[in-house]
């Protein structure tokens, strides 16, 4: 059995669709999950799709992805800009990892310009709304081919 791809989502992303839609769009996290599930399936992979508002739980999920998964995509949301624990967890796994954001944090408030996550992942995709997830997943699938 092929190992699953993990897609992890951080705090407040459970509110997508109603949360600041002018920034994050109207698609819900379930819409995004359905699209990712279909794309993963057509590439022959199963998907573990998680969301948590709790930093330590996200660390647990990253460790699980490192042990049981084939690759990881993560939108750490606000923890992007604060979490050394998530940085360290990503550094600690050997599978490829993609950081993804709906918005373009570099264009927003100055506190969003620092990402503790970018330094620990294979690559980052941001600024394309829900399509960032599709693009990120394609990037991860390409990495898994090589
Ligand atoms: C976000 C960007 C973060 O700055 C913000 O805290 C989020 C969402 C994005 O997907 O654009 O919650 O990660």
Q: Which residue's CA is minimally distant from atom 12 of ligand 1?
A: 77
- C-beta separation of 112 from 138 below 8 A: no
Pocket test for ligand 1, best of 73, 102, 107 (most atoms within 8 A of CB): 102
Could you give the CA distance from residue 44 to residue 18 in angstroms, rounded to a whole number? 32
- C-beta separation of 24 from 89 below 8 A: no
- pLDDT score recorded for residue 1: 74
Domain ranges of the chain: 5-145
CATH number for domain 5-145, candidates 3.40.710.10, 3.40.50.9100, 3.30.1330.10, 3.30.420.60: 3.40.50.9100
- In tens, the pLDDT along 96-146 reads 999 999 999 999 999 999 999 999 999 999 999 999 999 999 999 999 998
Q: Which residue's CA is minimally distant from atom 9 of ligand 1?
A: 101
Provide the pairing of β-strand 5-9 with 47-51. parallel
Give the N- to C-terminal CA distance of the chain in Å, as an integer: 19
- C-beta separation of 11 from 75 below 8 A: no
């Amino acid at each position: 059995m092929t190992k699953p791809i993990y897609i992890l989502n951080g705090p407040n992303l459970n509110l997508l669709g109603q949360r600041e839609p002018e920034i994050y769009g109207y698609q819900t996290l379930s819409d995004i999950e359905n699209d990712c599930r279909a794309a993963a399936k057509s590439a022959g992979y199963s998907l573990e799709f998680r969301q948590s508002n709790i930093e330590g739980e996200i660390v647990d999920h990253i460790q699980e992805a490192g042990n049981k998964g084939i690759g990881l995509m993560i939108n750490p949301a606000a923890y992007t800009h604060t979490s050394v624990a998530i940085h360290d967890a990503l550094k600690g796994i050997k599978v490829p990892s993609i950081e993804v954001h709906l918005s373009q944090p570099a264009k927003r408030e100055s506190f969003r310009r620092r990402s503790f996550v970018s330094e620990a992942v294979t690559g980052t995709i941001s600024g394309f709304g829900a399509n960032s997830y599709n693009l990120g997943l394609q990037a991860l699938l390409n990495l898994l081919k090589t």
